[in-house]
């Protein structure tokens, strides 16, 4: 079963092969200076190959026997993750498959700093990723990269592992990624980091007062549960991550149109994000007391499925009128967020593939971010656009005047309300379950690459995870 065979993706090699080729990276701004300093023979080669040092361009130099001995690769001035991916793809597409199996590559540059070199290594590795669990031919043609000695190897490997762990979890289809399998994948992570996973399952959810998690998941034979683990020194600041784990979303009795159901295996993308983020935090030993909570359910249709207009209770004691059974994610999150608040964390962050409205507002690539601390949100948005992060998020408002649109005449609150600001209304609903004295961030993410880009294949994708990790590292890192 794929979920039980997930491994942390690490495509780097630790020692150079007999045939190792150095890839020297030149930025576009430095091209003229570099080119003018080369020998007449190399300048002729530059002219013949039309090499301008642009991102994605490579210049191949050969010895007298015709064998490649050096490669010059172009890069943008920032040396971004995408530049690393483009360099990999250009080399992969130039060499035969047999040659790639015998050759390793090493990246060097006199003009780039350590952070830029690390970005190129990460981008190279992300371009290698291929989801082939179900392919008869699992061969992955790629250019093998040997990690340079003057960079942080642990950091680079962890970064790639975290991103690709998200990709794998989201890409696995729902027949192999239900609540049981999501629990198994979480155990893979917790065992790796030697922490204990606690599971509250099925009828125990009602016995232990998680009524909304149970209500959403009760119609599926794949029983609902809450996954819970903690890591780190108790003396460190408490940071809790909550991830929406709806392993498949039919929409319930408010059934989705078929074209929108095609990608609903990704509706557990929030849980994948918190697991990838947790892996990075634990691997790099960030000095926090980390807790992870994942309500894992399948929103199915059966005779006992919850209905639109039902009124259900919550762990918080707030009664909720169900406006639409396809707005199930906010219900399971609400119980988990209430539970998280009981421990009084310093910071509470949730990730969820929550609303189509966020995609209408911001498109596929940019997650919507909400917070009860505007200063924190503004700093994250600014940080997310930097070269080291390159994972833009956008702060949307928790606009209090819209709260009245969630009023219900027969319950404490409606799950959907009547307003048109769907992403904000969903966030306002969640805020009802957050204690006022707890700093909270809500990430409404897509968790999917719609079209496919260099280093970012179509399918499961991290959206916002790197931005939040950079923020946590900036706030808590030593």
Active site residue: 223, 330, 359, 456, which one?
330
Among 283, 92, 61, 63, smallest CA distance to 193 is for 283
Strands (E), 92-244: 103-108, 144-145, 197-201, 225-231, 238-243
| Residue count (the chain) | 478
* 8 Å CB contact between 228 and 197: yes
238 DSSP β-pair partners: 289
State the DSSP H helix or E strand holding residue 427, giving kind and residue range, or none if neither.
Answer: helix 422-431
User: 37: which 2 tokens?
Assistant: 């300093």
Contact between 165 and 185 under an 8 Å Cβ cutoff? The reply is: no
Determine which one of 16, 92, 155, 256 is catalytic.
256
Task: Read off the tokens for 145.
Answer: 């990269």
Decide if 56 contacts 79 (C-beta within 8 A): no
Helix 329-341 / helix 422-431 crossing angle, nearest 10 deg: 30
Please give the Cα distance from 180 to 220 (Å, whole number). 12
- Please give the angle made by the CA atoms of 255, 260 and 264, to the nearest 5 degrees: 85
Residue 330 annotated among the catalytic residues of the structure: yes
256 is catalytic: yes
Q: Is 273:443 a contact under the CB 8 Å cutoff? A: yes
Cα 264 to chain centroid, rounded: 16
Nearest Cα to 354, choosing from 264, 267, 467, 224?
267
Active site residues: 256, 330
């Amino acid at each position: 079963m794929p979920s039980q065979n997930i491994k942390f993706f690490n495509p780097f090699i630790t020692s150079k092969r007999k045939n190792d080729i150095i890839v020297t990276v030149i930025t576009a701004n430095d091209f003229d200076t570099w080119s003018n300093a080369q020998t007449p023979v190399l300048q002729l080669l530059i002219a013949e190959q039309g090499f301008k040092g642009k991102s994605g361009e490579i210049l191949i130099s050969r010895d007298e026997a015709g064998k490649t001995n050096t490669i010059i690769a172009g890069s943008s001035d920032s040396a971004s993750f995408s530049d690393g991916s483009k360099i990999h793809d250009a080399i992969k597409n130039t060499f035969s498959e047999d040659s790639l199996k015998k050759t390793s590559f090493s990246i060097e540059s006199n003009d780039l700093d350590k952070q830029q070199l690390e970005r190129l290594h990460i981008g190279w590795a992300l371009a290698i990723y291929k989801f082939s669990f179900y392919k008869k031919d699992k061969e992955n043609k790629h250019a093998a990269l040997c990690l340079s000695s003057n960079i942080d190897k642990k950091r680079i490997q962890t970064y790639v592992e975290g991103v690709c762990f998200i990709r794998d979890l989201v890409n696995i289809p729902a027949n192999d990624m239900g609540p049981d399998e999501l629990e198994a994948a979480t155990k893979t992570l917790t065992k790796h980091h030697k922490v204990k996973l606690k599971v509250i399952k099925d009828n125990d959810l009602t016995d232990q007062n998680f009524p909304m998690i149970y209500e959403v998941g009760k119609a599926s034979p794949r029983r609902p549960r809450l996954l819970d683990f903690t890591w780190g020194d108790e003396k460190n600041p408490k940071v809790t991550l909550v991830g929406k784990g709806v392993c498949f979303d039919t929409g319930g009795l408010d059934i989705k149109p078929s074209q929108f159901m095609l990608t609903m295996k990704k509706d557990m993308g929030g849980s994948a994000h918190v697991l990838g983020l947790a892996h990075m935090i634990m691997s790099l030993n960030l000095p926090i007391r980390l807790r992870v909570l994942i309500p894992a359910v399948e929103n199915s249709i059966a005779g006992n499925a919850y209905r639109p207009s039902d009124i259900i209770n919550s762990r918080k004691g707030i009664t909720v009128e169900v406006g639409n059974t396809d707005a199930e994610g906010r219900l399971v999150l609400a119980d988990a967020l209430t539970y998280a608040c009981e421990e009084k964390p310093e910071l509470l962050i949730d990730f969820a593939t929550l609303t189509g409205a966020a995609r209408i507002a911001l498109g596929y690539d940019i997650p919507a971010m909400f917070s009860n601390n505007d200063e924190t949100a503004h700093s994250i948005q600014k940080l997310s656009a930097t070269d080291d992060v390159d994972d833009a998020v956008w702060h949307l408002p928790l606009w209090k005047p819209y709260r009245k649109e969630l009023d219900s005449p027969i319950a404490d609150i409606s799950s959907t309300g009547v307003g048109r600001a769907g992403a904000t209304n969903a966030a306002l609903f969640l805020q009802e379950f957050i204690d006022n004295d707890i700093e909270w961030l809500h990430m409404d993410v897509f968790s999917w690459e719609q079209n496919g880009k260099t280093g970012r294949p179509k399918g499961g994708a991290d959206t916002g995870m790197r931005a939040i990790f950079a923020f946590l590292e900036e706030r808590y890192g030593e």
